[in-house]
A and B are shown apart, each in its own frame.
Chain A
Amino acid sequence: MPFIPHTESQVQDMLRRLGADSIDDLFGEIPALLQRAAPPEIPAGLGEAGIGRIAKARAGRNHPLLCFAGGGAYEHHIPAAVWDIASRGEFYSNYTPYQAEAAQGSLQLTYEYQTMIAGLTGMDVANASLYDGATAFAEACLMAVRCNRQSGSRRIAVARTVHPAWRAVAGTLLRGQGLKFVEVPLDAGGKADFGPLDRDSGDGFAAIAVAAPNYLGGFPDFGAWRARADKEQALLVVGVNPVALGMLRPPGEWGADIVCGEGQPLGIPMSGGGPYLGLLACKARYLRQMPGRLAGRTVDSAGNTAYALTLQAREQHIRRSRATSNICTNQGLMVTAATLHMALLGGEGLRRVAEACHARTVELVDALTAIGGVRRAWDAPFFHEAVLCLDRPVAPVLAALADQGILGGIDISAEYPELGNALLVCATEMRTARDIQAYASALTGIMRSGAGSGEVRHAA
Chain B
Amino acid sequence: MPPELIFEKARPGRRAHAQAPAPEAAPPADLPAELIREQDARLPEVSELDVVRHYTRLSKLNFSIDTNSYPLGSCTMKYNPRGCHRLASLPGFLDVHPAAPDSAAQGLLECLYELQEMLARVTGMEAISLAPMAGAQGEFAGVAMFNAYHRAREDYERDEIIVPDAAHGTNPATAAMCGLKVREIATGKDGDIELEALDAALGPRTAGIMLTNPSTLGVFERRILDISKRVHAAGGLLYYDGANLNALLGRVRPGDMGFDAMHLNLHKTFSTPHGGGGPGAGAVGVAASLKPFLPVPLVEKMGGAYRWRSEAPQSIGRLAANGGNIGVLLRAWVYLRMLGREGLRRVSDHAVLNANYLAFRLAEAGFDLAYPSRRAGHEFVVSLKRLRDETGVSAADFAKAMLDEGFHAPTVYFPLLVPECLLIEPTETESPEALDALIDAMVRIRDQALSDPEAVISAPHRMPIRRPDEVLAARKPDLAYGPALES
Contacts and interface: CB of A to CB of B under 8 A. Distances in A.
Contacts of A358: 28, 31
B429 A23 contact: no
A11 B87 CA distance: 32
A329 B322 contact: no
Interface in A91-122: 91-97, 99-106, 108-109, 111-112, 114-116, 118-120
A340 B55 contact: yes
Interface in B95-116: 95-108, 110-111
A460 B487 CA distance: 47
Contact of B30 (A44, A62, A362): A362
Contacts of A69: 97, 99-100
A308 B400 CA distance: 14
Interface stretch (B194-202, B382-390, B457-465): B457-465
A317 to B, nearest CB: 4
Nearest to A178: B179
Interface string A264-277: 00000111111110
A270 B95 contact: yes
Interface in B304-333: 307, 316-328
B34 interface: yes
Nearest to A102: B63
A168 B252 contact: no
A348 B20 contact: yes
A95 B75 contact: yes
A274 B279 contact: yes
B46 interface: yes
9 contacts: A2-B339, A11-B350, A93-B79, A102-B62, A128-B277, A131-B279, A246-B41, A275-B328, A304-B466
B16 A349 contact: yes
B87 A273 contact: no
A93 B59 CA distance: 11
Nearest to A293: B277
A4 interface: yes
A371 interface: no
A287 B59 contact: no
Interface stretch (B231-239, B284-292, B354-362, B443-451): B354-362
Nearest to B112: A272
B256 A34 contact: yes
Interface string A302-339: 10111110110101111111110111111111111001
A346 B62 contact: no
Nearest to B14: A346
Contact of B321 (A3, A132, A304): A132
B19 A95 contact: no
Contact of A172 (B103, B169, B318): B318
Contacts of B441: none
A90 B326 contact: no
Interface stretch (A45-53, A188-196, A441-449): A45-53
Given A36-B253, A90-B64, A359-B28, A298 B341 contact: no
A14 B357 CA distance: 6
B106 A62 contact: yes
A85 B279 CA distance: 17
Given A272-B326, A347-B43, A46 B251 contact: no
B62 A105 contact: yes
B64 A93 contact: yes
A224 interface: no
Interface in B1-16: 1-3, 5-7, 15-16
A460 B101 contact: yes
Nearest to B77: A95
Interface residues of A, number: 200
B421 interface: no
Nearest to A49: B83
Contacts of A88: 56, 59
Interface stretch (A74-82, A145-153, A228-236): A74-82
B399 interface: yes
Contacts of B41: 119-120, 245-246, 250, 347, 350-351
A163 B104 CA distance: 24
Interface residues of B, number: 204
Interface in B428-487: 428-432, 458, 460, 463-470, 472-474, 477-482, 485-487
Contacts of A280: none
Nearest to A58: B107
B137 interface: yes
Contacts of B21: 77, 352-353, 356, 429
Contact of B319 (A20, A173, A300): A173
Given A93-B80, A326-B173, A328-B136, A104 B107 contact: no
A101 B486 contact: no
B103 A333 contact: no
Given A52-B83, A103-B63, A108-B2, A62 B107 contact: yes
B178 interface: yes
B481 A169 contact: no
A293 B478 CA distance: 14
A232 B24 CA distance: 42
Contacts of B81: 2-3, 48
A202 interface: no
B262 interface: no
Contacts of A63: 103-104
Contact of B135 (A14, A323, A328): A328
A332 to B, nearest CB: 3
Nearest to B274: A95
B19 A345 contact: yes
B277 A89 contact: no
A83 to B, nearest CB: 8
Contacts of A60: 92, 107
A274 B23 contact: no
B343 A30 contact: no
B298 to A, nearest CB: 14
A10 B432 contact: yes
Contact of B478 (A99, A288, A297, A344): A297
Closest 3 CB pairs of A and B: A45-B340, A273-B322, A59-B92
B345 interface: yes
Contact of B278 (A319, A331, A359): A331
Contacts of B105: 62, 272
Nearest to A22: B349
B465 A131 contact: no
Given A295-B479, A346-B43, A273 B321 contact: yes
B367 interface: no
Given A272-B327, A320-B172, 9 more contacts: A55-B87, A65-B104, A94-B65, A284-B485, A300-B468, A334-B279, A352-B20, A402-B104, A459-B102
A31 B225 contact: yes
